[in-house]
Structure 1
């Protein structure tokens, strides 16, 4: 037995939406998990609801723990605080599994389908998502805070940004130039003038580098059906690899299926969904082309590999999400290496170059646009020891009696 003796949470004021979970066992091992958004709510769920049930249990029984935590009386099939808490615990248990056996998580999952996977760069900036809400008001007049302030870059000169990414080996990028036009109508209308302005970055990319780079369009669940259809049809001229989260909300199965019939632009979704059921329904309705999932929100690796198996059964590709935290990135990478139909791992070069590396001991190695398989046991990273000693750190522990 691998008895769970302690559940610890750590969060820091500088990154108020990030929360880490450390689970200790009587073997002397510590597993690391993570979630994002509403960190205080997740912390409360973990200590008031999860810990009293989890402490003293066998950390090896990942499936049983997942089943219990993913089926609360309220909050199931959502990415609410209960499921975000369950996701963080699940990641920590898989980290423990790999450490216990001296193997990386992708091997513990059943082995790798590949030892490297293609990266795409989400063109965010250094402070993107800092407060938990993506900054969507950047315009051409904004100035970059550094060489990788890619959200400013794609609004100013997306062609030059594409050239920069290609020079570093990236062959795919994701941008969201339409976001700034949604608030005017609540996402229900996009004017022809705004549509053409939103298309400009895509035109500049093609003018600068031709077809040498793939471009994804993020729509952030901001749009109603009519506006989303207008955007997706207009994107067809630029060979966009996918339009991501086009509708508000992405559990609108019928709406997505209808949108997919109206456009040749492939639809991707959704990091915002949790549990297998919404994905099963989307796939059964032929409503999406690419499955995106976030392991810190969907239920962790246990639920994530089931979602990946559903995608495989429908011959759909998988692309794990990360624009939130370094542990989620590592976990997503392990799934991307394992899942047979995975095609991309999302990365943000701005965060990889700055604050991600300040939080954890290890990050993925990217060579010529390919993310390499970690070789260390477990997830392959840990929180830096100084994080819990920071003045702005909130550390809370629940221990077995």
Structure 2
């Protein structure tokens, strides 16, 4: 089998997403995806990656990964890494399809058939805004459906918790501190801002008691001193984990943070590769390893990171707040990994815009995720996407590459 073409697709409606397909001379294809800086990723995929892939055997997965690793761009999840990640997801999809098996089976078999999910309380606007992770932008405008969960946790988090429990979902992630962080560059919070940020935790506990696990997302926005203060303020609410309280330029700083934090530390979707996660694990305070398949180097790298975490006796919780391909691939990985704890999902996404783009989504029922059992990761983009008026497509083949 030989790779004959690499194709990419972007849509103006979803400016942060890019999809890549890898085609072969035997008609088997693979689909990958990544998020952020889509046009830059597109250029790198065609200019740098395609020439290294065309004419090679896609089933030699590690060899393909080895050939792509560049002299620069590997420490952080920049354009190079996001490109490699999308390609790796596509290669694993292709590999599993070539053997007519679900990805979870081809990863080495399953540890489970279902996994508990938690709901990240984002709304419908997120991926349709190139400005991405700003609370001020995320909850602007009219709602697109019944699960505008960011608006909900900012206004009535207790009602939101009851709504999730009605669906069997017993864990939720919220980020009410972001508003103050965006104003102060993470350096300070006023008494009124602190009261407003703590109110959702009060509402959840008042409404449903300890039936709901609450994950706190800080989006790496805070200074270390302020992060420690916020951790102490949150102690009465017995939160499940604290995620990315500050930028992990130096993961060892988490040892300082842990002196003020009485729950699990969770990090980090922003880290890439085994070396960065080793630094995190070696702090001795890692509670949960959160990796993002589209930012950490893909499935090949994620398996190594998870194996390393297992050696440190630390669980893994794959991140997903991006697109349907990464979501499905992450679910397959979670079914395989011995130390998978939880799988993130966003109900506004998997009941909403994911369905506008793709078929084959995993099922969510009673707070548990299960797979659809199709070959590969199961996701197929709707064919009409490639001919949409806002579609930007590019193809590199053996003849034109």
Indicate conservation of the 8 Å contact 1:109/1:338, yes or no. Answer: yes
Give the 5 Å matches for 1:250-269: 250-269=248-267
In 1: Cα distance, 2:272 partner to 2:86 partner: 13
Cα offset for 1:67? 2.5
Q: In the alignment, which of 305, 320, 323 is matched to residue 322 of structure 1?
A: 320
Cα offset for 1:254? 2.1
Cα offset for 1:333? 0.6
Match of 2:83 in 1: 85
Indicate conservation of the 8 Å contact 2:118/2:343, yes or no. Answer: yes
Cα offset for 1:161? 0.2
Would the alpha carbon gap of residues 59 and 195 (structure 1) be closer, same or farther in structure 2, given more than 3 Å must change? Answer: same
- Secondary structure of the corresponding residue to residue 228 of structure 2: helix
- Secondary structure of the corresponding residue to residue 17 of structure 1: strand
Would the alpha carbon gap of residues 35 and 183 (structure 1) be closer, same or farther in structure 2, given more than 3 Å must change? Answer: same
Indicate conservation of the 8 Å contact 2:5/2:398, yes or no. Answer: yes
Match of 2:2 in 1: 3
Match of 2:24 in 1: 25
Cα offset for 1:190? 2.2
Would the alpha carbon gap of residues 373 and 82 (structure 1) be closer, same or farther in structure 2, given more than 3 Å must change? Answer: same
Cα offset for 1:141? 10
Match of 1:216 in 2: 215
Give the 5 Å matches for 1:44-55: 44-55=43-54
Would the alpha carbon gap of residues 144 and 6 (structure 1) be closer, same or farther in structure 2, given more than 3 Å must change? Answer: closer
In 2: Cα distance, 1:242 partner to 1:6 partner: 43
- Secondary structure of the corresponding residue to residue 11 of structure 1: strand
Match of 2:61 in 1: 62
TM-score (norm 1): 0.96
Would the alpha carbon gap of residues 331 and 94 (structure 1) be closer, same or farther in structure 2, given more than 3 Å must change? Answer: same
Would the alpha carbon gap of residues 97 and 132 (structure 1) be closer, same or farther in structure 2, given more than 3 Å must change? Answer: farther
In 1: Cα distance, 2:253 partner to 2:337 partner: 28
5+ residue gaps, structure 1, are none
Cα offset for 1:191? 3.1
Would the alpha carbon gap of residues 28 and 195 (structure 1) be closer, same or farther in structure 2, given more than 3 Å must change? Answer: same
Indicate conservation of the 8 Å contact 1:291/1:319, yes or no. Answer: yes
In 2: Cα distance, 1:363 partner to 1:373 partner: 8
**Alpha-carbon displacement from aligned partner over 1:130-185 (angstroms, at most 9, x marks no partner):** 32522312799987543100000001100000000000111110010000001332
5+ residue gaps, structure 2, are none
In 2: Cα distance, 1:171 partner to 1:143 partner: 27
Cα offset for 1:374? 3.3
Match of 2:148 in 1: 149
Q: In the alignment, which of 279, 285, 288 is matched to residue 281 of structure 1?
A: 279
Indicate conservation of the 8 Å contact 2:139/2:150, yes or no. Answer: no
Match of 2:164 in 1: 165
Cα offset for 1:268? 0.6
User: Does 2:125 match 1:120?
Assistant: no
Cα offset for 1:238? 0.7
In 2: Cα distance, 1:262 partner to 1:230 partner: 7
Indicate conservation of the 8 Å contact 2:123/2:147, yes or no. Answer: yes
In 2: Cα distance, 1:222 partner to 1:129 partner: 20
Indicate conservation of the 8 Å contact 1:20/1:32, yes or no. Answer: yes
Match of 1:243 in 2: 242
Cα offset for 1:286? 1.6
In 2: Cα distance, 1:140 partner to 1:394 partner: 27
TM-score (norm 2): 0.96
In 2: Cα distance, 1:271 partner to 1:74 partner: 20
Indicate conservation of the 8 Å contact 1:139/1:155, yes or no. Answer: no
In 1: Cα distance, 2:334 partner to 2:158 partner: 29
Cα offset for 1:198? 0.8
Indicate conservation of the 8 Å contact 1:251/1:273, yes or no. Answer: no
User: Does 2:232 match 1:233?
Assistant: yes
In 2: Cα distance, 1:311 partner to 1:139 partner: 33
Aligned length: 398
CA RMSD of aligned residues (A): 1.6
- Secondary structure of the corresponding residue to residue 374 of structure 1: coil
Indicate conservation of the 8 Å contact 1:120/1:173, yes or no. Answer: yes
In 1: Cα distance, 2:65 partner to 2:361 partner: 26
In 1: Cα distance, 2:122 partner to 2:42 partner: 27
Q: In the alignment, which of 393, 398, 401 is matched to residue 400 of structure 1?
A: 398
Cα offset for 1:326? 0.4
Cα offset for 1:265? 2.4
